[in-house]
Structure 1
Amino acid sequence: MDIKTELLEIIDDLFMEDVSEMLDEDLYDAGILDSLGTVELIVVLEDRFDIIVPVSELGREDWNTVNKIVAGIEGLRHE
């Protein structure tokens, strides 16, 4: 399974939202992510993808869409 598919499943599981048609929409503006949800998502992503997300990576503008989160995961997996 690719990163995007896994991420879509994780978001659906955590927040009960299908965001497969919202890949470039701001998940905060859409009401899907908030500060607590971001922490929950990061914990799951770190475990699932065996990555560590540095605090410096958690800017709202850096991880606010599905496509940006996928790119962030890919970057961290290749470090």
Structure 2
Amino acid sequence: MEKQEVFNILVEVCQDEVVVENPDIDLFEEGLLDSFGIISLLVEVEGRLGISVPITEFTREEWNTPNNIAMKLAERE
């Protein structure tokens, strides 16, 4: 899995290029990701990357930045 692939998905889900420009931005604090966005993100990740993440394992503290999301997904490959 390429980190850029994860960022591309995040750009689509968050509808903002800032996730690529600042991969350490807190997506929740900045209002770029909400409950609906989390579901969209997990559906896209499973469909495009083949990585399944149960919603029960998605915590805002660990999945709050583009870099953290890419790292957590890489652990699941």
Structures share fold, TM-score greater than 0.5: yes
Which residue number in structure 1 is paired with residue 40 of structure 2?
40
Cα distance in 1 for residues equivalent to 2:44 and 2:2: 13
More helix by share: 2
Which residue number in structure 2 is paired with residue 10 of structure 1?
9
Cα distance in 2 for residues equivalent to 1:3 and 1:56: 24
Matched AA of 2:76: L
Q: Secondary structure at the match of 1:20?
A: helix
Query: Does 2:58 correspond to 1:58?
Result: yes
Question: Which stretch of the first structure deviates more once superposed, 26-35 or 46-55?
Answer: 46-55
Structure 1 residue 71: deviation in Å?
Answer: 0.8
Cα distance in 1 for residues equivalent to 2:32 and 2:76: 23
Matched AA of 1:6: E
**Structure 1 unaligned blocks of 5 or more:** none
Structure 1 residue 54: deviation in Å?
Answer: 2.5
CA RMSD of aligned residues (A): 1.4
Q: TM-score, normalised by structure 2?
A: 0.86
Q: TM-score, normalised by structure 1?
A: 0.84
**Structure 2 unaligned blocks of 5 or more:** none
Aligned length in residues: 76
